Structure 1
Amino acid sequence: MEKGFEQIISWKKSRELNKEVYVLTERALFSKDFALRDQMRRASISISSNIAEGYGRKTKKEFIYFLNVAQASCYEVKSQLYLALDINYLDKVEFEKVYGICDEISKTIYGLIKHLENKT
C-alpha cells in the first residue's frame, strides 16, 4: 500500500526516469564521459529526492520550494539530454522517450504546485 511521498505521481515517474538515465549512461561511450554521466545521474536523482524531502518537511511553503527545486533539476536533465543527443551518446528515439518522461514529471510537478498554492 502506498502512502506518503510514494503516492505522488511525479515521484513515481522520477523513479522511472532514474532507471532510464542509469541504463543510458552505462553504455560504453557515455559511461566514460564521467562529467556528463555523473551530472545527469545527480540531476535525475535530485528530482525524486527533492519531492520526497519537500513532502517530509510538512509545511506547504517548504514543499512548494522543494517541488520547484525538483522541477529545475528536471529541466537540467532535459538540457543534458540534448547534449547527449548532439554528441551521439543516444539516438533520437531514446532522446524522445526520456525527454517525454521529463515532460510528464514537469507537468505533474507544476500541477501539484498549483494545487498546493490554491489550497486554503
Structure 2
Amino acid sequence: MDLVEVVYGLSSRFPNEERYGLSSQVRRAVVSIPSNIAEGEGRNAPNDFARFLSIAHGSLREVETQLLISVRLKYLTEEDITNAMTLCEETGRITNGLKRSLQGRGKSG
C-alpha cells in the first residue's frame, strides 16, 4: 500500500491531458497489486492465492514499465521514481517469496 501512495503522488504530477491516459492506467495497475493479494489470501486456498499473487506480480511489472514510460515522456525524472522503483523491487521479492512458500506447501500437502 506504500507503493500505491507513492505512485498516486507521482501520477498527480502528470499533465492534465494524461488524466484518462497514463495516469489512470498506472493508478489502476498499482491499486490492483494489494487488491489481488488481499483477494487471493481471502480465498483460503493456496492454489488460488498463488494465482492471485501471479496476477499481482504482473500488475507490479506494469507499474514499473509505466513509471519508466513517464520518465521517457519527461513527466518525471529518474530521481523522481527511485523510491517507487525500490518499493516495486521489495514488493516483487515479497510476492515471489509468498508464491514459492505456497508452492512448497502444495507439494508437501
TM-score normalised by L of structure 1 = 0.83
The structural deviation recorded for 1:28 is 5.2
Structure 1 runs not aligned, ≥5 long:
1-14
Identity score, percent: 34
- CA distance in 2 between partners of 1:67 and 1:23 (Å): 25
Does 1:18 find its partner at 2:7? no
Equivalence for 1:80: 66
RMSD: 1.1
Equivalence for 1:66: 52
Q: Over residues 16-50 of structure 1, what are the superposed CA-to-partner deviations in whole Å (9 max), with x where a residue is unaligned?
A: 11101111111252x43021000000000000000
Equivalence for 2:17: 32
Structure 1 runs of 4+ with >6 Å offset: none
Residues 47/81 of structure 1: CA separation in 2 closer, same or farther (3 Å cut): same
TM-score normalised by L of structure 2 = 0.91
Structure 2 runs not aligned, ≥5 long:
none
- CA distance in 2 between partners of 1:101 and 1:94 (Å): 13
> Contact between 2:43 and 2:49, CA under 8 Å: does it hold in 1?
yes
How many residue pairs align between the two structures?
Answer: 105
